[in-house]
Chain A
Amino acid sequence: MRETKYWTWHMAAGVVIFFLLGLHMLIMHLGGTTHLFAPFGGEAVSKVNSVFRDGRLFFTVTYILLLGVALYHGLYGLRTILFELTLKPIVEKLVTFVFVVLGLGLFGLGTWAAIVVHAIAKTGARG
C-alpha cells in the first residue's frame, strides 16, 4: 500500500509539473513569442529579466514548489526504473537513502537560492 501511495504522489506531482514547468517553458523557451514576464525586452534569460522575476513572490513560491515536486517525480521515477532490475533489498534501501539525501540536499540548495535572490531583488541591489 505504501508503494501505491508513493506512485499516486508521483502521478500527482507530474500533473503539478505539467502546469508549472509548462509556464516556465512558455516564459524561458518561447519568450520570443510570448514575451511573458520579461518587461525589459531582449532575452527572457537576461540578467535584468531574471532579477525582475526573482523579485516577484509568485515566482519565488512557484520555483520552490516546482523544485520540490520535480525532484520527487524525477528521483522516484529513477528509483522505479532501477528497482525493475530486481535489486537486493539492501541495495534498494541504499538507493532510496541516497535519493532521499540527494533530493533533500538539492531542495535545500534551490530553496536557499530562491529566497536569497528574492531578498536581493527586493532591495534593488542588482538593478
Chain B
Amino acid sequence: MAELERHDNRLGIWGWLGGGRWGVERYAYILHRLTGLGILLYFLMHIVVTSLRARGIYLWVEGGFFHRPIFKLGEFLVFAAFAYHALNGVRLVLVELGFAVGRPIDPVYPYKTSLNVQRPLLIAMMILAAIFLAAGGYEFLGLAK
C-alpha cells in the first residue's frame, strides 16, 4: 500500500486559522472547525451527564444544576454552533463530491476559479442556518409556549 506523502505544516496553528487571500468559503471552513470543536467538547460532557439518568440523576430538569440561565445560554450557543456546522457541512459534502462547483473546463489563461461558482451554495446554506438560528432564538427568549 502506498504511503501518504507528508508535507510539513510550516505555518503551525496559523495554518489552521489563517484564511489568507482565499475566499469567504475558506473562513467558513475555519468557523466550521471551530464550531465542530465546541460541539465535540459539549458532546463528550453531554454523554456523561445524560448517562447519569441511569442512576436516577437528572441534572438538567427544573431545580437541577444545569437548569441555570448560564447553562441555558450555553445550550443556545451549542444550538447555534450546530445550525452553522450542520448546514455548512452539507455544503462541504456537496462540494467534496463535485456538486455546485461547475463543469470542468480547460485550463486556459486567464484561469477561472470554481470558488466563485460555489458562492450561491454558501449563501443558500447560511440563509437556512439563519432561519434555524432565529427559530432557536425565539425559543431561547421564551417566546414559544
Residue positions of A touching B, CB distance < 8 A: 1-3, 11, 14-15, 17-18, 21-22, 25, 29-33, 43, 45-47, 50, 54, 67, 70-71, 74-75, 77-78, 81, 84-86, 106, 109-110, 112-113, 116-117, 120, 126
User: Nearest CB to that of B140 among chain A residues?
Assistant: A29
- CB neighbours (8 Å) of A33 from chain B are 135, 138-139, 144
Q: Given A29-B79, A74-B36, answer yes or no on A106-B44 (Cβ-Cβ < 8 Å).
A: yes
User: Nearest CB to that of A125 among chain B residues?
Assistant: B56
Docked-complex contact B54 and A117, CB < 8 angstroms: yes
In the complex, how many residues of chain B place their beta carbon closer than 8 angstroms to a beta carbon of chain A? Answer: 46
- CB neighbours (8 Å) of B61 from chain A are 43, 45-47, 50
Interface flags, B111-145, vs A, CB<8A=1, else 0: 00000000000000000000000011011001011
Check B99 for interface membership: any CB of A closer than 8 A: no
Say whether chain B's binding surface is mostly helix, strand, loop, or mixed.
Answer: helix
CA distance in complex: A112, B13 (Å): 38
> Chain A's nearest CB lies how many Å from the CB of B36?
5
Residue positions of B touching A, CB distance < 8 A: 1-2, 4, 6-9, 12-13, 15-16, 33, 36-37, 39-40, 43-44, 47-48, 50-54, 56, 58, 60-62, 75-76, 79, 82, 86, 89-90, 93, 96, 135-136, 138-139, 142, 144-145
Q: Given A1-B1, A29-B75, A47-B58, answer yes or no on A113-B51 (Cβ-Cβ < 8 Å).
A: yes
